[in-house]
Structure formats: C-alpha cells, structure tokens
C-alpha cells in the first residue's frame, strides 16, 4: 500500500515510530524532519494532496492535538480526514465515513495506542451500502 504521512514538530517523534512500524509499505514522508517548531499546514497540505490526487491510497497526519492537521486536510475537496484517539474510532471512520486520512493526537495517545489506531485504520474497509449515500453528501459543490 502506498501511504502519505506528515506531521508537525509535536508529531515528529510519533511519525518516526509509525514509519518504522509500517516500513513494509511504500511511505511518502512529507515532513517535518525534526522537532524544531514548525507550522502544521506546511505538512498537512502536501500529505492531503498526495491522497486527493491518488498518488497515495491513504494518509496519516500527526500533530499535538490532531485538530490542526485534520482541519487543514479537510479543506481539500477529496479528503475525508478523521481525528481518531482510539482504534474503535479509526475503524468507524473507515467503515462508516470512508475516511482516507487518519489524524492522530500525539500528545494524547501512547505510542502503542497510536500504532493500534494506524493499524486499524489501514486494515479496515469501507462498508458501503447505506453509508455510501451519506458519504456522497459530505462534499460541498
């Protein structure tokens, strides 16, 4: 699977853990590449663009609360980014909302939980059916 991943400084350490865990995938890392203070939109936009364009199948974004990267990614018409703090939320985001980017709050989950969230997100399929009708109503024209 080809994945896009990005973070700000608050998510950098967790991003590196996630990258190592998912090294079997083709990962496109859109930064940041250190813990030096930076602006989350600089990394959320290119990550979202890679998923929106189809260059990557799914994306992972990480920042302190995950709110900033989630808001930024969702500005892209083809993106359905979900802020997930438990594996159960990640499963529902895929199953019911066909989310294509998971946003993980680095300051509020452990590495173990973050890996479970990402694993669940990447391995859960969209259920379609009644959920497809709802997902079709998300985008603004």
Length of the chain: 141
CA-nearest of 51, 140, 41 to 101 is: 51
Catalytic residue among 21, 25, 96, 131: 96
- 82 domain residue, yes or no: yes
- Residue 93 resides in a domain: yes
Q: Of the residues 56, 63, 70, 84, which is catalytic?
A: 63
Q: According to the model, what pLDDT value does residue 90 have?
A: 98
Note whether residue 81 is domain-resident. Answer: yes
Closest CA to 101 of 61, 63, 67: 61
Mark whether 96 is an active-site residue. yes
Can you tell me the mean pLDDT for 32-42? 98
Task: Output the pLDDT for position 80.
Answer: 98
Is 63 in the active site? yes
pLDDT number for residue 141 = 66
Provide the CATH number for the domain around residue 130.
3.40.1400.10
| 45 domain-assigned | yes
The predicted structure's pLDDT at residue 127: 87
Domain count along the chain: 1
Q: Which structural domain range is residue 78 located in?
A: 2-136
Q: Give the pLDDT score at 140.
A: 82
Q: Tell me whether residue 50 is in a domain.
A: yes
Number of H helices, E strands in the chain: 6, 5
Q: Is residue 83 part of a domain?
A: yes
Asked whether residue 35 carries a pLDDT value surpassing 80, the answer given is yes
141 inside domain: no
Tell me the pLDDT tens digit for each residue of 41-66: 999 999 999 999 999 999 999 999 99
pLDDT tens-digit series, residues 84-141 = 999 999 999 999 999 999 999 999 999 999 999 999 999 999 988 889 988 988 888 6
| DSSP H or E segment with residue 32 | none
Residue 34 lies in a domain: yes
């Amino acid at each position: 699977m080809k994945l896009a991943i990005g973070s700000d400084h608050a998510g950098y350490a967790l991003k590196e853990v996630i990258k190592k865990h998912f090294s079997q995938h083709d990962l496109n890392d859109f930064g940041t590449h250190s813990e030096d203070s930076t602006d989350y939109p600089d990394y959320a936009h290119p990550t979202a663009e890679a998923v929106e364009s189809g260059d990557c199948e799914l994306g992972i974004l990480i920042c302190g609360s995950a709110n900033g990267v989630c808001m930024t990614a969702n500005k892209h018409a083809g993106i359905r980014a979900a802020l997930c703090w438990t594996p159960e939320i990640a499963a529902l985001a895929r199953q019911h909302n066909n989310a294509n980017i998971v946003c993980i709050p680095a300051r509020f989950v452990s590495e173990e939980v973050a890996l479970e969230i990402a694993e669940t997100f990447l391995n859960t399929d969209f259920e379609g059916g009644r959920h497809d009708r709802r997902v079709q109503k998300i985008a603004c024209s």
